[in-house]
Chain A
Amino acid sequence: GQNIDQPTEMTATEGAIVQINCTYQTSGFNGLFWYQQHAGEAPTFLSYNVLDGLEEKGRFSSFLSRSKGYSYLLLKELQMKDSASYLCAVRDWVNSGTYKYIFGTGTRLKVLA
């Protein structure tokens, strides 16, 4: 089966660092994505990992361990505007050239002044 787990809520202080974890189980893993979603808005792409290791993109980094079925999103120098939900999504192979994106329930991050 397919399963994606991430914490429901996290709270952090402006300027701090926060790590949001995601564990997954899928049958045809072909990449892990992190999306940011502000309340009432569509998810927007943050990062993508298909190989093990760390991908860095400005204040955001994402890590993947395929053998452990584990990823995390690291947010540095937190700003108030980072208050949002962070969705972990796995791309699962369906058939030749086709994939589906399976989402976790999302982690609501509150950044406090």
Chain B
Amino acid sequence: EAGVAQSPRYKIIEKRQSVAFWCNPISGHATLYWYQQILGQGPKLLIQFQNNGVVDDSQLPKDRFSAERLKGVDSTLKIQPAKLEDSAVYLCASTLLGSHTEAFFGQGTRLTVV
């Protein structure tokens, strides 16, 4: 079974530029999560999708961050414009709907804003 796929693995941009990250969850996983992990901290939930609907985006900075999962499969997270404090690893995770199993994580995208 293929795992959660994310791209790119690394990205360096200048502040005020825009950037997009892509995630393809495990096949059949209805729930998809985007987390932001700043160095030395635990993952912080940015947004959660169930199929193509948003379940929770309470911690998403909506003035600059947006995310979509139009067909209920893969997802894109965008930052526009980026700030220095957005430097972090962006992790995508997925689970089966209603599952009692763990969340499966992708390798993450390491973003550096200079």
Contact = CB atoms under 8 A, between A and B. Distances in A.
User: Chain A interface mostly helix, strand, loop or mixed?
Assistant: strand
A97 B43 CA distance: 22
Given A42-B91, A42-B107, A45-B102, A98 B45 contact: no
Nearest to A45: B102
Contact of A98 (B43, B44, B50, B110): B50
Interface residues of B, number: 27
A103 interface: yes
Interface in A1-57: 4, 31, 33, 35, 40-45, 48, 50
B105 A100 contact: no
A105 B45 CA distance: 12
A94 B43 contact: no
B97 to A, nearest CB: 5
Given A94-B56, A100-B48, A105 B107 contact: no
Interface in A72-113: 87, 89, 94-95, 97-106
Given A94-B55, A100-B55, A105 B41 contact: yes
11 contacts: A35-B102, A41-B107, A42-B105, A42-B107, A43-B43, A45-B102, A48-B102, A94-B55, A97-B98, A103-B35, A103-B42
B33 to A, nearest CB: 7
B24 to A, nearest CB: 14
A98 B31 contact: yes
A103 B107 contact: no
A73 to B, nearest CB: 14
